[in-house]
Every structure is written in structure tokens, then in C-alpha cells.
């Protein structure tokens, strides 16, 4: 019986055990002040008040009741135990283009775990389809579960497997591929796929949710619809991220995979294009291209798949008081490349120069990005930047730090030549550089 009451403890657990109650049973609670509450016992957050019992009332609202001396709790009926049951998958409309949804986990593929109050990866990709029946009017959706993990557990090895799976789906002739992914590291995966998959014949659209699909404020449905619409209608052959543009449920923004960053912990419009225009937007079920600077869909058979990454690359954030022994230790550990996230136009303190000289002498690539969200590095303005270039630090224009370290992992897997590493890091492969910085992009 105790397993059915997980989340309850203390006084509340003792009372429920005494009356033989289980989650799903109908209880009546008589408060000592004369108030009477009747409802279904529901699971609860395990770190909550140990004296609290949670009921779902007939009006659909939940109420937490603190059990005190003089209160009386009785079980008046056995109810249906709560269980998740997906809706049936709607029938596909013949003649619609095929889109593959590859699920890797994350909040968009999660439900609330009422024992902990957190979300757990629990939904299959098929569930995404059955919960958003509108997809049946957009495409013939084929689904596959590749992983069921949160994005903080994503590694370069996972990126390789995702890239290979996408390539396999594209070889089957689908109109586009959607990847369901956790939002926290979705920008990293989008960048990785942008380098691993070149000459794409169709859009590859990563999509996530800030709030799980069983919450009233969930952004999962609109984001997923926007991603599938993009996969069908967009003219580009690139990797993109599709998420809410604003706080309302009306527009999905489509960002280039190498220029997007998660800028808020919880808002539904957390993702922003940095130093770049949006690729497009989806509104009222229609995709509209915004940027005219895009790579069109390549002809079938032109896809290049280079899905390997070398994890001996590291991203280091500089701060006042930074100890250069950190850089020395990384060199001792055999790291082949370092991306510095410097201040302003691309600076780190002169205290780091000795370690950076050693990196140069060891043939380790060191690239400079900025901690600032918008703008680009310019290491020619101040002597600090010029000194850093003198010891071999390479300015990386307006590349995002996250994109830079992912690109470096990919580049290091392609070549052992330091000169070739430098050339590739300064080559615009997937739109990671912007030709110029516009003031309009910082709005």
C-alpha cells in the first residue's frame, strides 16, 4: 500500500494508512471548524508539508488540506487509480508529405511526476502525435524514439547518433525531420547537427517545450505544430530550432541552429536568435520565410554526413580573479582546443599570457569569443587583444561561445593539422558567422 502513497509522509501518511486509503480513492475530510471537503486523493510533491493531504474536488481544482488535531478523515469509496493513457493516433490524411519525428526526450516528451513535483521523460514519440491531433492535417507523421533523456545528459556521442538517424530518415525520402529535444542544451545539439549534416535536402527542426504537455500553460503543442509545418513548408535545407516567439500561443519563431541561444530559464519565448535574423515564423499553420540568407534544400543524394566529434575541446569563461593554472591543467590533460569566453571585445587578463603561449607551442588551438550576447569580438582595438593574438589566440568574429566549442569538437575530429583547424574554424560552414552586426538584431 505504501507504494501507492509515495509523496506522502509524516502525519498525512499515518492518517491515510490508518483508513486504508490509496491514491485514487474518494475521501471526505471533516475539519474541526465544521468545513467538509470531498474529493479524490491525488499524488503530491514529496518535499511538501508532511501534514498536508491533497484532494481533487469535483470542480476539477486541487486543494491541499493540513490535517490537525480534531480533524476527521474517512474513506468513502474506491476510485479509478490515476494512469496515463495516450489518445488514439488520428488517421493520416492520404497525399500529405511524410515527416519524421525523432524523440530524444526532454520536457516536450515528459509528464509531471507528482511524487517529486518534477517532470520525467515518459512519453513515446507516438504520444506526441496522439496528443496533438492537428498534426494529422499537416503531414503523415512517422515517429521513432532514439533516446529518452533530459538534455543535460546529452553528449557528443548522442549528437553522432542523432545525426546518423536523421541521415537515415532523409534517405527514406521524408519531407523533413523534427527532433524532440530538451531545451537546456538544444542550442548545442542544433549547432552540432549543423556541422555534422551538410547539403541537407530538407529542414531538420529541433523542438522542445518549457512546460510539459499535461500542464495548462504548456507550449508543447504549438511548438510541435510549428516544427512540423516548418519541416513541410520551409524552403531551406538547414538545421533550425522552432520555439514560441512571444508569450501568447500564436507565433512560433524558427531560428538558425548555429545562431540560437536559450536566454531565459522558464519563459516560453526563451530562445532568441543572436546576431542574426530569424529564419522564419509559423503563424496560423503557415510558414513564412523572414531571412533571405538561407541555404536552399539540396537535391537528393548530395547530403554529406560527418557525425564525429572530438571531446578534447573545452569552453572556458574568464572572470576577474581567474587562475591561469586552470588553463595549464587543461593542457596537462591533453586538451587539443580551447574556446575562451572573454570580456567585451575579446579579452582575458595578461596573467593568462604565459599559459596561452604554452598552448601555442603545444599546437593547441585557442579561439576567442565574447561573454556579451550581441556584437562581435575585435581584438585590434586594445593592446590586450593584440597581445593575445601575438600568442596565437584566434578571434572568432560573432560566433556564439556554445557554437564555437561544438564546432571545435567537430573540426578536431576532421583533422590533426593545427593549420587546418584554424582554417576550418574561420570558415563559415553553417551560418555560424554573420557578415555584419546590425543594431536591429539586439532588440
C-alpha cell at 107: 520536457
C-alpha cell at 305: 554526413
Radius of gyration for the chain, computed over Cα atoms and rounded to the nearest angstrom: 26
Instruction: Let me know the angle formed at the C-alpha of 266 by 264 and 268, rounded to the nearest 5 degrees.
Output: 90
C-alpha cell at 287: 510558414
Distance CA 39, CA 133 (A): 31
118 three-state secondary structure = strand
DSSP bridge partners of 111: 120
Distance CA 208, CA 107 (A): 7
Distance CA 89, CA 107 (A): 21
Helix (H) or strand (E) holding 408: helix 401-414
C-alpha cell at 280: 522564419
Distance CA 22, CA 37 (A): 17
> Both ends of the chain: CA-CA distance in Å?
56
Reported in sequence order, the residue ranges of 173-319 that DSSP labels E, i.e. its strands, are 176-180, 197-198, 204-207, 239-244, 251-256, 260-262, 271-273, 280-283, 286-289, 304-305, 313-317
Catalytically active residues, by annotation: 107, 183-184, 262
DSSP bridge partners of 36: 30
The number of angstroms, rounded, from the C-alpha of 367 to the middle of its chain's C-alpha atoms is 25
Q: Which residues contact 410 (CB under 8 A, 6 or more apart)?
A: 192, 195, 196, 306, 308, 309, 310
Helix (H) or strand (E) holding 159: helix 156-171
Residues in the chain: 443
Reported in sequence order, the residue ranges of 81-220 that DSSP labels E, i.e. its strands, are 98-103, 110-113, 118-121, 140-145, 176-180, 197-198, 204-207
Nearest to 147 by CA among 193, 197, 109, 184: 109
- Alpha-helical (H) ranges within 270-352 are 325-332
Amino acid at each position: 500500500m505504501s507504494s501507492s502513497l509515495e509523496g506522502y509522509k509524516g502525519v498525512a501518511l499515518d492518517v491515510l494508512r490508518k483508513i486504508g486509503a490509496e491514491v485514487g480513492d474518494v475521501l471526505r475530510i471533516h475539519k474541526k471548524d465544521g468545513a467538509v471537503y470531498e474529493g479524490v486523493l491525488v499524488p503530491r510533491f514529496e518535499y511538501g508539508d508532511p501534514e498536508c493531504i491533497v484532494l481533487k474536488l469535483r470542480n476539477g481544482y486541487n486543494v491541499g488540506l493540513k490535517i490537525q488535531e480534531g480533524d476527521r478523515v474517512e474513506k468513502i469509496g474506491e476510485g479509478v487509480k490515476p494512469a496515463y493513457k495516450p489518445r488514439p493516433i488520428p488517421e493520416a490524411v492520404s497525399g500529405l508529405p511524410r515527416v519524421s519525428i525523432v524523440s530524444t526526450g526532454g520536457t516536450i516528451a515528459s509528464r509531471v511526476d507528482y511524487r517529486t513535483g518534477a517532470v520525467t521523460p515518459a512519453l513515446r514519440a507516438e504520444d506526441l502525435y496522439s496528443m496533438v491531433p492537428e498534426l494529422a492535417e499537416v503531414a503523415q507523421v512517422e515517429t521513432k524514439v532514439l533516446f529518452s533523456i533530459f538534455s543535460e545528459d546529452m553528449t557528443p556521442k548522442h549528437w553522432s547518433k542523432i545525426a546518423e538517424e536523421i541521415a537515415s530518415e532523409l534517405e527514406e525520402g521524408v519531407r523533413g525531420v523534427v527532433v524532440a529535444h530538451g531545451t537546456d542544451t538544444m542550442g548545442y545539439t542544433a549547432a552540432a547537427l549543423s556541422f555534422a549534416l551538410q547539403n541537407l535536402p530538407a529542414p531538420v527542426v529541433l523542438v522542445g517545450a518549457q512546460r510539459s504537455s499535461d500542464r495548462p500553460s504548456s507550449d508543447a503543442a504549438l511548438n510541435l505544430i510549428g516544427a512540423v509545418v516548418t519541416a513541410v513548408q520551409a524552403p531551406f535545407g538547414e538545421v533550425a530550432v522552432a520555439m514560441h516567439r512571444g508569450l501568447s500561443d500564436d507565433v512560433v519563431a524558427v531560428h538558425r541552429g548555429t545562431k540560437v541561444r536559450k536566454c531565459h530559464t522558464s519563459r516560453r519565448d526563451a530562445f532568441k536568435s543572436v546576431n542574426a535574423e530569424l529564419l522564419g515564423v509559423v503563424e496560423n499553420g503557415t510558414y513564412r520565410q523572414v531571412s533571405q540568407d538561407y541555404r536552399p534544400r539540396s537535391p537528393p543524394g548530395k547530403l554529406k554526413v560527418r557525425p564525429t566529434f572530438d571531446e578534447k575541446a573545452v569552453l572556458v569563461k574568464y572572470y576577474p580573479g581567474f587562475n591561469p593554472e586552470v588553463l595549464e591543467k587543461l593542457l596537462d590533460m591533453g586538451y587539443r582546443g580551447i574556446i575562451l569566453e572573454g570580456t567585451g571585445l575579446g579579452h582575458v587578463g595578461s596573467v593568462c599570457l604565459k599559459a596561452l603561449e604554452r598552448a601555442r607551442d603545444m599546437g593547441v588551438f585557442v579561439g576567442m569569443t565574447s561573454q556579451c550576447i550581441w556584437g562581435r569580438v575585435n581584438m585590434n582595438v586594445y593592446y590586450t587583444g593584440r597581445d593575445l593574438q601575438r600568442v596565437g589566440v584566434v578571434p572568432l568574429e560573432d560566433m556564439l561561445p556554445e557554437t564555437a566549442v561544438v564546432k571545435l569538437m567537430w573540426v578536431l575530429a576532421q583533422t590533426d593539422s593545427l593549420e587546418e583547424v584554424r582554417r576550418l574554424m574561420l570558415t563559415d560552414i553553417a551560418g555560424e558567422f554573420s557578415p555584419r552586426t546590425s543594431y536591429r538584431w539586439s532588440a
